[in-house]
Amino acid sequence: MPEPEKEDREILRFFLSAELGHSPDPELSSRCELALKTPITKDVCYSFRDVRARVMCSAWSHMEKEKLPFSESVRRAWRETKEECSKAGAVI
């Protein structure tokens, strides 16, 4: 049986790949870094796909850099993204 943390990372990798339109590969982190460097706009916030891709990339970053569990990473990423969208004038 896979380790829970490894399984969580694989689940997140799958979702990120789907949201970013790519197959899972080692360059996922670099694509997420690029996505997170892009300033958030109302258009991103109101785009079903774009906002979720940003949240999943942020969650991936929390898991990689801070070693947070999957569920905590996703909750934190949503909270941060909602705050950023609010500053951009978009309430989600």
What value does the mean pLDDT take over residues 54-81? 91
Confidence label for 9 from pLDDT (cuts 50, 70 and 90): low
**Mind listing the pLDDT tens digit for each residue in 21-60?**
554 455 667 778 788 888 999 999 999 988 998 999 999 8
Decide: pTM greater than 0.75. no
Q: Please give the DSSP secondary-structure letter assigned to residue 68.
A: -
Residue carrying the six token digits 């979702």: 15
How confident is the model at residue 73, as a pLDDT? 92
**Mind listing the pLDDT tens digit for each residue in 80-89?**
999 999 999 9
Question: In the predicted model, what is the mean pLDDT of the chain?
Answer: 81
Query: Which are the contacts of 9, defined by CB distance < 8 A and separation ≥ 6?
Result: 63, 70
